[in-house]
Amino acid sequence: MARQICEQNDFILLGIDCQADYCHLYINVPPTTSAGEAVRIFKNGIAGALLKEFPAFGKMRNLWTWDYFATTSPRLNKAEVENFLRMQKTRS
């Protein structure tokens, strides 16, 4: 699904890492697309497909958190990402 969303929006999928409670997408987006817009496109696209396949998800208050982590650095700092994930778990 991530590949399809990338193809539809001229994004380049560099990598993906999904676990039970999170999903990391490593993407390049055109300079005309903000990080927030890219996140919205992914969250809406994936949520629509999940709700179609698993209607019970529609009873959940929120499928996604409001937060996201984005960087423009080609060198992703793993410690920053781990800190972000830790913060998400304390906020849920």
pTM for the structure as a whole: 0.71
- Closest by CA to 24, choosing from 45, 7, 39, 5, is 39
Higher pLDDT, 84 or 2: 2
Strands (E), the chain: 12-18, 23-28
Going along the chain from its start, the domains and CATH numbers come out as 2-91 (3.30.70.1290)
Burial class for 34, CB neighbours closer than 10 Å (0-12, 13-18, 19+) = exposed
d(CA 3, CA 46): 11
Distances (CA, A) of 38 to 33, 35, 55, 92: 7, 5, 25, 23
pLDDT tens-digit series, residues 10-66: 999 988 888 777 777 888 899 999 999 999 999 888 888 888 888 887 777 777 777
